[in-house]
Amino acid sequence: DAKTTQPPSMDCAEGRAANLPCNHSTISGNEYVYWYRQIHSQGPQYIIHGLKNNETNEMASLIITEDRKSSTLILPHATLRDTAVYYCIVRVVDATNKLIFGTGTLLAVQP
Amino acid sequence: GAVVSQHPSWVICKSGTSVKIECRSLDFQATTMFWYRQFPKQSLMLMATSNEGSKATYEQGVEKDKFLINHASLTLSTLTVTSAHPEDSSFYICSARDKGSGRRAGANVLTFGAGSRLTVL
């Protein structure tokens, strides 16, 4: 699976959009980008995934660059409850299904 | 949506005892479940893949005799920490893949339990 690089931490003001970057310059053509988040002392929560098109759901938007070497997760209106560690994971869809987590980005939403 | 339940959510035990943690998929069947361990301020580390009706597959460096995994049914996997020691104190999290619907269908989307915090005295 391709390696991902994320900033260790970010701050965001409540009500503003939070833009979390992820670099995956070695991504291959059949690898998807997944985003999960983990609120303190809880299990991770799936947010969104994509292959090459931008995606949006009720939680967030995922913007993938045309060369697919990086992506940005956007939380349009961050709230205090969005404070969490956000993990960007790149991998193929295969029978093993297992996910390997990197270090992620700690997003702190400030009041 | 898919729900994965873990029990107990926290447990304290004495050194040398064994502790069992259960992971259940509540509204779907899971032929495969995954066990992770997380130390404070660290990321999740995959320990093993639990396969229904067969032996678990352990990641490199994880002692299979120390962490016994049993996946006896399509909705239940158990992790037993045998002869626990203080260094085994950690947050243990399980996950499972449900077939999902819409865009989640066919994707590697895992549903995670809330975790079980083990403290070994």
* Mean pLDDT value of segment B36-64: 93
More confident residue, A6 or B109: A6
Place of tokens 């270090």: A103
Tell me the one-letter amino acid at B116: S
Neighbours of B15 (CB within 10 A): 12
* Interface touch B34/A46, C-beta < 8 Å: no
* Interface touch A101/B91, C-beta < 8 Å: no
**B34-44: per-residue pLDDT in tens?**
999 999 999 99
* Interface touch A45/B112, C-beta < 8 Å: yes
pLDDT category at B92 given cuts 50, 70, 90 is very high
* Interface touch A44/B49, C-beta < 8 Å: no
Chain A environment of B43 (Cβ under 8 Å): 85, 87, 101-104
Sign (positive/negative) of CA torsion A48, A56, A2, B38?
negative
pLDDT confidence of residue B101: 61
Residues of A with CB under 8 A from a CB of B: 32, 34, 38, 41-46, 49, 55, 57, 85, 87, 91, 93-94, 96-104
* Interface touch A43/B117, C-beta < 8 Å: no
Distance separating alpha carbons of residues A94 and A90, to the nearest angstrom: 12
Q: Is the pLDDT of residue B49 over 90?
A: yes
Chain A environment of B107 (Cβ under 8 Å): 32, 49, 93
Structure-derived torsion over alpha carbons of residues A104, A102, B9, B90, reported in degrees to the nearest 10: -110
Residue B84 · residue B56 · CB < 8 Å: no
pLDDT confidence of residue A108: 98
pLDDT confidence of residue B54: 87
More confident residue, B23 or A91: B23
pLDDT confidence of residue B98: 75
Q: Is the pLDDT of residue A94 over 80?
A: no
From B107, which residue of chain A is nearest by alpha-carbon distance?
A93
Candidates A18, A8, A33; CA nearest to A103 is A8
pLDDT confidence of residue B102: 63
Distance separating alpha carbons of residues B114 and A27, to the nearest angstrom: 30
Q: Helices (H) and strands (E) in chain A — how many of each?
A: 0, 9
pLDDT confidence of residue B99: 67
* Interface touch B43/A102, C-beta < 8 Å: yes
Using a 10 angstrom Cβ sphere, with 0-12 exposed, 13-18 middle and 19 or more buried, the burial of residue B3 is middle
pLDDT confidence of residue B97: 83
Q: Is the pLDDT of residue B94 over 80?
A: yes
Residue B78 · residue B21 · CB < 8 Å: yes
pLDDT confidence of residue B103: 65
Farthest CA pair distance, chain A:
43
Farthest CA pair distance, chain B:
47
Structure-derived torsion over alpha carbons of residues B105, B56, B111, B103, reported in degrees to the nearest 10: -10
* Mean pLDDT value of segment A39-46: 94
From A97, which residue of chain B is nearest by alpha-carbon distance?
B108
C-alpha A47: how far from chain center: 8
Place of tokens 């869809």: A93
pLDDT confidence of residue B100: 64
